[in-house]
Amino acid sequence: MLTPEEKLLVGCVLGDGSLNRRHKYQNVCSLKMVHTTPQLSYLEWKVDQIRPILKSKAKILRSVNNFGIEYFSWESGFSSFVHLYELLYKNKKKTFSFEFLKELGPKELSLFWCDDGGIVKSLRHKVDPRTGKAYPNLLQETYGNLAVYEPKEETEAVASWIQDLTKEKPKSVFHRKTGLYYLRFNKKQLTVLVNCIEEYTPKCMYNKLDLTLIPLSERAQVRKQRAIRRHECAAT
């Protein structure tokens, strides 16, 4: 059984975080987390949770990548929880299994969602089935994605874990560009997910839980942004 401290450390590496083995010292690992500027507050919140566990004095570092994008990283070495690397990493690769995930709870799911999850609000015309013409009012569709981006078996393990916590199982969807799978949540599944993880989610990440409808005044702008995005995707 994992302790609450061990669960927290694992939760922080389910998504964007990572554990690394320091080859020079086999009994030492490091935990690294990286976020862009808009999520700096979220990174600071996670560091505040982890620092007492690892007894770390490491600081958050600012960097700029080759594309001029600013990002922040935090990395700390430790020797007390090296066994977590052996549990989560198989053949030096992060590997999801239901046997391991079932020990984790809604707090760890919240961390995973804040790292790699997101709510999509799309607008489309509803078509009258009798005439084939579009209604004048736009219909809003709300769904969510969790970027697991692993083979189907591992993605299904994550889906089963989520079902174990929420009683709702998201759908595994194939991602053509990566050749891997992610999870898709419908509106009902999203509502249950939000209710499950809301109390464990920091306020700076509440945008990841926002299920409110797009205001009528903003729908034209949203449609324009979607069209631009579709054009950019088609060009790549």
Mapped onto helix, strand or coil, the DSSP state of residue 212 is coil
What pTM value is reported for the model?
0.85
Inter-residue contact 72 to 38 (CB < 8 Å): no
What is the pLDDT tens value at each position of the chain, 236 positions in all?
A: 899 999 999 999 999 999 998 766 678 899 999 999 999 999 999 999 999 999 999 999 999 988 888 999 999 999 889 999 999 998 889 999 999 999 999 999 999 999 999 998 877 666 777 777 766 566 677 899 999 999 999 999 999 999 999 999 999 999 999 999 999 999 999 999 999 999 999 999 999 999 987 666 666 666 666 666 666 556 54
Query: Which of 184, 211, 183 is closest to 197 using CA atoms?
Result: 211
> Who's near 227: CB < 8 A, 6+ residues apart?
none
Inter-residue contact 25 to 13 (CB < 8 Å): no
Q: Within its chain, how far is the Cα of 205 from the centroid?
A: 11
Identify the structural domains of the chain with CATH numbers, from first to last: 4-92 (3.10.28.10), 115-235 (3.10.28)
- At 214 the pLDDT is 67
Residue written as token pair 């960097």: 63
Query: Which of 68, 82, 107 is closest to 27 using CA atoms?
Result: 82
